[in-house]
Amino acid sequence: MVARNDELGELGFIIYLKSNAVGALHAALSDTGVSEIDGSTFDVLRVEGGRPAFPADLDEETIPLEAGIEDRAISMTKGCYVGQEVIVRILHRGKGRVGRRFIGLLFDPDMAAPPVGAELTRGEKHEKVGAVTSAVWSPSLQRPIALGYVKRELSEPGTEFRVVDADRRWSAVAAERPFLTSAHSSPR
């Protein structure tokens, strides 16, 4: 079975097949020049594409509107589905406002990527306003980038954060997602 997949922000496919057919398919695809990528490379491309993944960036408590995936995760024309009442209430009564938003984060090129779970803070008292959910070194941008959630009012691109993990500190700036307009193009 072949399923369309755009987790990397580009049109792609996932192929489901019996394990005894993997070798033949791999050989056939290799003969056409298709390149294989490992999980780490996939994750870099996913984060550069600004795409949340389960369970790193999404869990059963995440509202699709928080993650910014409503355009591909919610149908307004289909019948009843789990969570529909919450979504309709947020969209119609709350005008789409949620308590937190999923954002991109840019770091200085000379820094290492922060660990998942690092806190995002603001102000003199370093109030916790969010957390990093995915972080990678971006070869395309030549710097660490991350994804995470912050309080709604702090989600605008250009907002500055202090990132804290144990005794380490980073500076980060909120950035538009995706970080790249396409896997084959330049940074935003």
Overall average pLDDT of the 156-181 stretch: 94
Q: What is the chain's mean pLDDT, rounded?
A: 89
The reply to whether CATH 2.40.30.110 applies to domain 100-175 is: yes
pLDDT digit string (tens) for 70-86?
A: 887 887 777 787 878 88
DSSP symbol at 180: B
Q: Which amino acid is at 124?
A: E
Q: Which of 62, 49, 59 is nearest to 7 (CA)?
A: 49
Q: Of 101, 105, 127, whose CA–CA distance to 116 is shortest?
A: 105
What pLDDT was estimated at residue 6? 74
Q: What is the pLDDT of residues 98-126, one digit of tens each?
A: 999 999 999 999 999 999 999 999 999 99
The answer to whether residue 149 scores a pLDDT higher than 60 is: yes
Question: pLDDT tier at 36 (50, 70, 90 boundaries)?
Answer: confident
Give the per-residue pLDDT at 111.
Answer: 93
| CA–CA gap between residue 62 and residue 98 (Å, rounded) | 11
Mean pLDDT across 6-18: 79
Which pLDDT score, from 0 to 100, does residue 186 have? Answer: 55
Q: Can you give the residue ranges of every domain in the chain?
A: 2-36, 100-175
pLDDT higher than 70, residue 183: no
